Structure 1
Amino acid sequence: MHWRALDRDGEDKCRLARTSGGFMLVGHARFRDGLGWAALDYVVRLGGDWHALGADVSGDYGGETIAWRLARAGQGWALNDEALPGLEGVTDIDLSFTPATNTMPLRRLPEVGRLDCTAAWLRLPGPKVSALTQGYTRERGGLVRYAARETEYETHLAVDANGFVTLYPGLWERADHG
């Protein structure tokens, strides 16, 4: 998948690969924000049930080289091997700089109905990681209503048959392949 940013200069490209134990999202996000240009590479490891096992983010951000490893640690999560409080029972990862991580809950979303989940939400600058309670409700015409409780954010995502976001209003859209 290839997206272009709508709120700033930038793009994100990712691939979904099957592994022996599940799946892997591998991507490259390039964008400009208030700290300048960012060049971030990410790998999100997923179990066969589409729940997150961990993620690595590396590259340049804000003029600094970064290397972050977010991983399950018992019932919770750790960032670079340091336990993160308040993330017990979290099943997903949301990397704030890419729509790729919406794919996991979208793949679990039933054809009719709703899915509620909680993600370890990694935000920039930082990294800042906290729990983000998310709701996904399938609607007509390939749309999914998305809501994040802690931020009171709601929107309608356009989604393709593979569970990838094709339009995240005001933030991302699938880039034309023409």
Structure 2
Amino acid sequence: MSETLATIHWRALDRDGEDKCRLARHEDGYMLVGHARFRDGTGWAALDYVVRCGPDWLTRSADVTGTAGGEEVRARLTRENGAWLLNGTKRPELAACTDIDFAFTPATNLMPLRRLPEVGRLSVCAAWLRLPGPRLDPLNQSYTRERGGLIGYEAAQTGHIAQISVDPQGFPTLYPGLWQRVEL
């Protein structure tokens, strides 16, 4: 049984699309359940995702299903004994990863944002899932609390830098150029 803690709805700023996500307390941790619908360079995508975390907000497993660019997507990521598996196949290059980052949604920023100290910085390595593929690679990220309630974000491999606004639950409300919360 799960208890809903928060819901959020985002509008894409860089393409046609939206994402709706629910955060729930589940068993001995948390679960994100979301539905992303968007059009990108490969065509329309309709993706459903679930991310399961422990009480420490570290990712335990995640699933993505649906279609993207006319292709079926079925990705199951699990963490077993410190090793990540993609659809049952070990991915040793992801051994240092503590988080999942789905490139198509801001929802997966929630886990590191929930672990970010009130003052300071958090550096993480995420298993970065991109489509088509799925392609899965390590992505070194850092989150820093800044003035005005903003979070500084940086991804080492891509050079992406942003100042993210977040709500009290830790969800991004404005990810400049990419996502903005839709008020319901």
Considering the TM-score relative to the shorter chain, is it more than 0.5?
A: yes
Alignment partners' CA distance in 2, 1:129 and 1:76: 14
**Structure 1 residue aligned with 2:14:** 7
After superposition, residues 122-161 of structure 1 pair within 5 angstroms as 122-161=129-168
* Counterpart selection for 2:23 from 16, 37, 41: 16
Alpha-carbon distance between aligned partners in 2 of 1:19 and 1:41, rounded to the nearest angstrom? 18
> 1:130 and 1:82 mapped to 2: Cα distance?
14
Say if 2:116 is the partner of 1:116: no
Deviations 1:6-65 (A, max 9, x none): 000000000000011100000000000111110000000000000000100001111122
Match status 1:40 vs 2:41: no
For each residue in 1:48-94, what CA deviation from the matched residue of structure 2 results, as whole angstroms up to 9, or x when unmatched? 00000010000111112221101113322111001113111311000
- Report SS of the residue matched to 1:144: strand
- Which structure 2 segments of 5+ residues have no match? 1-7
Aligned to 1:62: 69
Compute the TM-score of the two structures, normalised by the length of structure 2.
0.94
Q: Is 1:29 matched with 2:36?
A: yes
> What RMSD, in angstroms, separates the aligned Cα atoms of the two structures?
0.8
Conserved 8 A contact 1:73-1:83: no
Task: List runs of 5+ in structure 1 lacking aligned partners.
Answer: none
**Structure 2 residue corresponding to 1:101, chosen from 108, 119, 136:** 108
Deviation >6 Å, runs of 4+: none
Q: Say yes or no: does 1:169 pair with 2:155.
A: no
Number of equivalent positions: 177
